[in-house]
Chains A and B, each alone.
Chain A
């Protein structure tokens, strides 16, 4: 690892930490009911929306009503995205005349965007019309992120409210998150990205002449669509000379801004943030990484401020960093070390003033090793899933880090809102374990943690774990599951494990070699994404409801303080131990086996 690699991590986290407090304080203001600068400016629009939708903003919802509003709203969004994909061929803003997507692919994509996963079994520039991207995908980018924040706010109210059955109003939380946080931040980010070269227009694709003509090689297919084979059993290919290049266009910057900020991750183009029109410069890359952590990081501060003890928020943030930093450095070091398979060849993988060196397969020159390795860690620590390098081509250990970060349950920053409520579930488990050690009823933030809370927290922790393990087993035991695998050996297993880990933790990144656009994979991963997202949210809302009904317990001599280095260490250990115990056997068959084979 070079000093430049380390400097990139320090610079990134430094800028992030400077922004956490102002962004967190702003969000605390934006979500509150008391008159303030934010609702003075936006209050009129906000109230107008409530009036049109027939929403009473002063209505307080119990957790069940809150959950139902959340589920209905997200289900409608899901239907809208599905419908748009199925009829896009008849709608405007489709200059490339893309046809309707298949039902299973459209369903997978609709669930994917409604659940903030943004797994993509399609290629944006070769399948989706501008209208579908704008009205379907981008809208869900906003609303799924706003839903995550709303559920988090309800969970935090469970801790702050006393002896009540209400956890807030879903419509108010969702609207404020969208109007006051996601929209203005996205606007700024979109313009910054556009200044760097991210396209933003409604033009048809542009054809340009190639300086040097090139050759397209395609397999020949018969009338039935099967590849034609020659006498020796090889595919017959046809060569054609290509003289032009078709440059994709579209309203990309606006969508990419919210894709990063809302930890969505669904690329406008197939290559996602590796595409030069989606992430053209190192500065755009820095903005995109920062956008991923901005809200999850800031929400830690918002949380501390809402519970009236900012140290609680800083403690959660410190726990996240404690796990994030070594994993980021580890991934970068693994990539910088290069690919041992190329050692015998006349290839220079050494870093120098003239090149980044390292494992450059699947990486872009402008990002090199440091900005690619850091992006891969950031996007999987948070449940973003945007990629600026192809994760399938990462070294075994460099690929293990993103995979394991997802398997930890997307709580190291995690999704917008959902990362923090996931981490609060782990915090509840941590105080419970501490309580068992000393034989006292555990408390967290002044609330007694009892059987019901533990059941819900355990559900939240175990549902994604169970989905990953069970669905990976189903996939590797089914011919239809194995059929999609592209790479041989242990790496092929990693492709399957990565895909299921990504879907069942609502990340959305992929080991892209896996051919996932088949009915089997579309359905399996669709089910994973939906169950994980909404079962977790419901469990956490149920916990919030039961917590809100409790009285406040003043801290006593026997209360475990939850802002100390001791608790930070304990919480980090719980997260790591659950992740390690559940997934080490599976990881041993995939990336660890591949690593041992590669060093021999």
Chain B
């Protein structure tokens, strides 16, 4: 009864998303799995006060980055933090087409589908998205999560005690040409390329399947 009541309260887009994740049959076949590399740009680093400015994402399937399956959304701001413009270049009244936070999330969840999320320092991006979902009285995200930082730590035993590698550090380490840093889409693409390189190396010592990959997430909660 309570269950039924709860379900009733949730909007359709959220129920659709949950349904897709729960019923997906793709997770056992690595080649069929859709990964979505994503990055968010935010007004700051405070989970409570700061807001998402932009979500950029790009899908991967069978070790190929699918440029025609990418996503980019800019969020209208009600509060505004001057400090972060310097980093992201997204102004309160920029030229990009902006939508409300709710609309951005609806679009994003529809795009996300049953995909596995790949990000760099995933916890930050996911928490920001979950905070936004919470404001709509839904969430948190049910998608499976991967973090390029931890996949790297798993395959690179050196610097074992260094907990965090920045995206810049890993791009240098894996010889990835960087341009376009600090736009959500640009970082999402770098993360996707990094993910391709990491999984190629991961495959050498480990079986490349989702379970093994997700095991790298020992710090991610």
* A and B are interacting partners: no
Contact surface of A with B, Cβ cutoff 8 Å? none
Contact surface of B with A, Cβ cutoff 8 Å? none
